[in-house]
Amino acid sequence: MREIVLDTETTGFEPAEGDRIVEIGAVELHNHMPTGRTYHQYINPQRSMPQGAFEVHGLGDDFLRDKPVFSAIAQAFLDFIGDAKLVIHNAAFDMKFLNAELGWTNRPLLPMDRAIDTLAIARRRFPGAPASLDALCRRFGIDNSTRTLHGALLDSEILAEVYLELIGGRQPDFGLSANTDSPMTRGGDAGAWRPRPRPTPLPARLTDAETAAHEAFVAKLGDDALWKRFS
């Protein structure tokens, strides 16, 4: 199963008011494990950077001036994500911006059901607790000391670790769900499964001396010894 952990940085909160994406970072997972493949792109928003947004991510007008516009990188981005599920913290925000940018380039929009929202997962698992990325790093003991400013690729890498913890660690199903034809899953009745007898018993690993010593010890316990009820 392929998933893409994704984050964006923007000039603000509302594409409908002229805000744009200025950075996209993404990390590929296969069967919940990072593959090492990443996508990272800075984008010229074709507008000035508000001070409030600059203080969040540190991406200013001078730095972004020579970067490509979204329409120039859109296809490369779509090629990277393919048809994978998109793991995003506060998915509604990033999906809103991605679909606005895709719409402005006359490309098909990304359906919301492709998004796995880690913010929603965290709120369900820990009701009433802080659910920001930093708070989840503290909860799971994930090192985010390099996150002095928001950055799309760094945040994606951190979010990948958080996501794996949210779904149960780096082996969330321990591989049990992979074999749907196993005796434990066939028919959906795990409680009815019983191991079959071995065709041939396992050979004893005790030596003759050890067996004799054990029998002598049991003999000293007397006829009422609990051991003798099961021997």
Q: Which amino acids are annotated catalytic? A: 150
- Residue 145 is encoded by which pair of tokens? 């000391």
Give the integer Cα–Cα distance in Å for 179 and 121: 26
What DSSP assignment string belongs to 90-115? THHHHHHHHHHHHHHTT-PPPPGGGE
The gap from C-alpha 91 to its chain's centroid, in whole angstroms, comes to 14
Sheet holding 2-10, edge to edge: 33-42, 21-30, 2-10, 85-88, 115-117
